[in-house]
Structures are given as structure tokens and as C-alpha cells.
Homo-oligomer: A and B are copies of this chain.
Amino acid sequence: MARKITFRQAIHEALVQEMTRDPTVIVMGEDNAGGMGAPGEQDAWGGVLGVTKGLYHQFPGRVLDTPISEAAFIGAAIGAAACGLRPVAELMFIDFMGVCLDQILNQAAKFKYMFGGKAKTPVVIRTMIGAGLRAAAQHSQCLYSLFTHVPGLKVVIPSTPYDAKGLLIESIRDNDPVIFCEHKLLYGLEGDVPEESYIVPFGEASVVREGDDVTVVALARMVHFAQQAADALQRKGIHCEVIDPRTTSPLDEDTILESVEKTGRLVVVDESNPRCSMASDIAGLVAQRAFKALKAPIEQVTAPHTPAPFSDVLEDLYVPSPAKIEAAVTRVREYR
């Protein structure tokens, strides 16, 4: 386990290993190779952030660039999945879901049910989430709460290179449509990642830190902020249990509920906007199913109910910070 690679490399490696293992796995997206029809290098880009760079030559015919036609190519990935392939399609930013949502919401998510069980749609939609790159309102959203609302979809949100690789392999092998969310500020994160292929199962939260005082559930980049907050709190004698659900659909309810049974206090940290979000979803779950154990109000630490601002000073305020998490934990801890 000593090898350290980045989140970006972990995703790349998962793709390589699955494409090697299974010839029905194909990759598609805008400039996933790059340079189609152009005079210079083929495979010039490997996606806007270079995640798929190299696959084009390694797997001839299996990495498809696309016109800027998300409805068509995301739908094509879905149709191909229904016909026996295992496409991994890249929706460059999750913010672009607005131009192709129908294929995901009304086609992929519903085939199996509408068709009386007689369909299988093993498609993975890889997409970039989150704020922090000064990319402004249309390129900084989380939006996974919207997909989590939709029955028939699975939603995967890794926070570490290890989970990114294992969850992506699991996503590709899974037989249902999966929305795989990659936080743009995590690509450079390094971590231990085994070279061999492995899976991280869906619906199993990771308890990234154990503690008896307050349960903190966090997703994606917020897992790291929660850890930072927990470090600071530990120095003050407050012990957080930090849980990363890793998949929001299915959600590992048991791990969350058991933790709250122990701590009696819950803070949910979600970079999303607050309304009808994963933060409220988990709060609602616990208020229903672990009520007896609760000793304090459930705090939700989220972005505000505003679009993402461009200016760095504003964006830094927009994203939940370790300090805000710390304050929320302190509040629920001190609540009587």
C-alpha cells in the first residue's frame, strides 16, 4: 500500500484496468482524446483536466470524442449500455446536467422499472463537481443532491484517491446507471492506492475517524475540511467521529445511525446549496430514525442559498470552511 498517486491518476488507473479487463468498457466525452480532425497531436487533451490522457492510443477505437452535444452522447452512452456495452461517459462539469438531464432522469433511471425489470443499463457518468477554482456560478455547483433524488440512479462521491479508484471500478462493474462525481479540487490530492485492481462497495460509508462526542458526516472535499476541524477540536478535547458516506445513493444509513446512537450529536457538512440537499437528507434520516439518541439539534453546514460567486474572497466564504464546521460541532457539543 506504499504507493502514492493522485486522485486524477487513481481514476485514470481504474479506467485502464477496467478497459483491459472488459472489452465492452468504452469511454466517451468532449475531448476525452482531443484533436479529432485537427492537424496536430491526436489525444491532445485527455479531457479538460487530462484524466483520460493516453487511453486513446492504449485502447484503439474505444475512446470516443464527441461533438458538444451532451444530450446526444450521454443518451448514446445510455442506449449503448442498454444494448450490452459498459460506457463511461464524461459530463465535463455537473453543471451541464441541464442540457442532458432528460436522458438521465427519464431514460436511464427509469428503464428498468418501466420495462418491468427487463432492462439493465450499466452506464457510468463521470462528472466534475464543486467550487474553489474561481469558475463562477455555472461551473462550481455540486448538484449531486438532484441526482440523489432520482430513484434508479446511483450516486458516488469519492473523497480520496483510494476510494476514487475502488469506487470507479465498482461503478463500471455495477449494472445500474451511476453518477460518479469528482471534486475538482481533489484531482491533485495524493494518497495510498494499491496497484492491483480492487473495489470499494456501494452503500458502505467510511468511518474516517472515530470519536465519541459528535458525529460529523461529510462528502467529497468536505471530508478533508471535517478532518481539519476534527483535528482542531481534538486539541480542545472534543472527539469527532467523521463519516464519509462515499455513495449518497445507496446511502449507508446504518453507519450514520449507529454513530449517532453513540454520540447523540450530528453535524452534516455538504458543499451543496442547503435546500433539499444531502445535508437535509441525512438530517431528516437521523431525526426520524435515531431521534431517541439525539441530544442536540442537528446542524447542517452548507454553502449558502446563493449561486457560487466568482471573486476569490466571496468564493472562499461560499464554501463551508473548517472553521465553520468547528463552530457547528462546538455548538452541538455545548448544547444543553
Residue A105 at the B interface, CB < 8 A? yes
CA distance A114 to B135 in the complex (A): 12
Residue A174 at the B interface, CB < 8 A? no
Residue A137 at the B interface, CB < 8 A? yes
Chain B residues with CB under 8 Å of A136's CB are 114
Chain B residues with CB under 8 Å of A143's CB are 149
CA distance A148 to B149 in the complex (A): 12
Copies in the complex: 2
Known contacts A109-B307, A136-B114, A138-B106; is-contact A283 B276 (Cβ 8 Å): no
Residues B275 and A148 in contact, CB atoms below 8 Å apart: yes
Can you name 12 extra interface pairs (CB under 8 A) apart from A98-B104, A151-B273?
Answer: A109-B307, A113-B307, A146-B276, A150-B273, A151-B307, A251-B275, A276-B281, A280-B284, A280-B285, A283-B287, A287-B287, A288-B300
**Chain A residues packing against B (C-beta within 8 Å):** 71, 95-106, 109-110, 113-114, 136-138, 143, 145-146, 148-152, 248-249, 251, 272-273, 275-281, 283-289, 291-292, 294, 296-300, 304-307, 309-310
The 29 listed contacts between A and B (C-beta, < 8 Å) are A96-B102, A98-B105, A101-B101, A110-B137, A113-B306, A114-B307, A145-B149, A146-B146, A146-B276, A148-B275, A148-B276, A149-B272, A149-B276, A151-B273, A152-B307, A249-B275, A276-B278, A277-B281, A279-B284, A280-B280, A280-B283, A280-B284, A281-B284, A283-B283, A283-B287, A286-B287, A287-B287, A287-B297, A291-B297
